[in-house]
């Protein structure tokens, strides 16, 4: 294939070649899920965030946090970065730190899938695994497990003089989706959208997308998706903290990123519903996604089958099914 010879002469590379993997983050495609919605009155659209370099929507957050911290001087050249993660933010930060030259320490619960920890380590980061709380279930991260990880992350941050990216509190988490994911969804749908639903981890994606969409059309309805049995945002008591949907549902009712966000409702899905939807995505749509993608699709289908029949609903596909091969998602 012939390329632009003059461009090569000037830069040594062909036009269209990106400077780094960080520049490949975002602008993910949106697809119709017509096979999953066969027989359902309405349209379901999925934004394929698992096609980001680190395999998840958290790549956007990691890039934004590191770049902003460098710009403000909060992160010094060569300074270590530490983060609590269930895996996806850790992979994104491992990429961002590799490109920008910062050592990175990811602190995970042993309840996270082994694929996540191995991927982060393969990307050059140091991985610290924290034992689960008494009574926890292997392969499932509870709020109690996360509290132990948080404690360890704070100790490591202090002992190493590190920068803590702090995805649960850092407002650049929301900004990454407010300036990126949300406007992309609006542009890709041409504004012809009735609703958006997202499984809540830190709440950054739901908050950023909700604000971006409602600024453009306040009639778009935005919903928080939670695991049944751990739906604290909806005001329910926690009776199943060991649900299988990794990356969220930690039982934290007061999430900083969701304060004052104009949500329109709360949806609950079971682990089995999320599992079935993830498998449908794989076998009917060729989209190999994780547990939270299944939760999003299951919640969106509920909307289309009930209060939003005939509507157009968008979701994100947060991460790849490759990160769950050791779990019961694919058994």
Active site residues: 58, 292
Burial of 242 (0-12, 13-18, 19+ CB in 10 A): buried
Contacts of 296 (CB under 8 A, 6+ apart): 197, 198, 199, 225, 315, 316, 317, 318
- Per-residue burial over 109-137, b if 16 or more Cβ lie within 10 Å, else e, is bbbbbbbbbebbeebebebbbbebbeebe
Residue 40, class by beta-carbon neighbours within 10 Å (0-12 exposed, 13-18 middle, 19+ buried)? middle
Q: How many CB atoms lie within 10 A of CB 73?
A: 7
Is 128 within 8 Å of 139 (Cβ atoms)?
Answer: no
Two tokens at 250?
A: 């930690």
Contacts of 198 (CB under 8 A, 6+ apart): 205, 206, 209, 222, 223, 224, 225, 296, 315, 316
The strand pairing partners of 198, in sequence order, are 224
Rounded to whole angstroms, the Cα distance separating 129 from 122 reads 15
Instruction: Identify whether the C-beta of residue 58 lies closer than 8 Å to the C-beta of residue 205.
Output: no
For 179-211, the DSSP string reads IIIHHHHHHHHTT---EEEEE-SSSHHHHHHHH
């Amino acid at each position: 294939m012939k390329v632009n010879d003059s461009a090569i002469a000037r830069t040594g590379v062909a036009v269209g070649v990106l400077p780094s993997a960080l520049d490949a983050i975002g602008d993910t495609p949106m697809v119709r899920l017509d096979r999953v919605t066969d027989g359902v009155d309405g349209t379901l659209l999925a934004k394929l965030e698992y096609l980001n370099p680190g395999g998840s929507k958290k790549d956007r957050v990691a890039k934004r946090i590191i770049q902003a911290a460098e710009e403000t001087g909060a992160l010094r050249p060569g300074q270590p970065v530490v983060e609590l993660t269930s895996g996806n933010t850790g992979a994104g930060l491992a990429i961002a730190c590799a490109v920008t030259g910062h050592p990175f320490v990811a602190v995970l619960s042993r309840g996270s899938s082994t694929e996540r920890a191995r991927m982060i380590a393969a990307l050059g980061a140091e991985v610290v695994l924290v034992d689960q709380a008494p009574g926890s279930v292997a392969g499932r991260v509870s709020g109690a497990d996360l509290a132990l990880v948080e404690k360890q992350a704070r100790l490591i941050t202090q002992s190493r003089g590190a920068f803590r990216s702090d995805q649960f509190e850092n407002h650049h988490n929301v900004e990454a989706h407010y300036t990126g994911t949300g406007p992309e969804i609006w542009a890709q749908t041409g504004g012809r959208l009735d609703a958006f639903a997202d499984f809540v981890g830190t709440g950054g994606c739901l908050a950023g997308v909700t604000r971006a969409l409602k600024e453009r059309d306040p009639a778009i309805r935005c919903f928080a998706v939670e695991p049944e049995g751990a739906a604290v945002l909806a005001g329910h008591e926690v009776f199943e903290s060991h649900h299988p949907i990794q990356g969220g549902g930690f039982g934290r009712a007061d999430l900083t990123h969701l304060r004052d966000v104009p949500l329109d409702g709360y949806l609950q899905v079971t682990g089995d519903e999320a599992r079935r939807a993830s498998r449908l995505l794989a076998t009917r749509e060729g989209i190999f996604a994780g547990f939270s993608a299944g939760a999003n699709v299951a919640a969106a289908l509920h909307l289309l089958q009930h209060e939003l029949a005939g509507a157009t609903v968008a979701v994100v596909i947060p991460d790849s099914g490759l990160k769950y091969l050791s779990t019961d998602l694919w058994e």
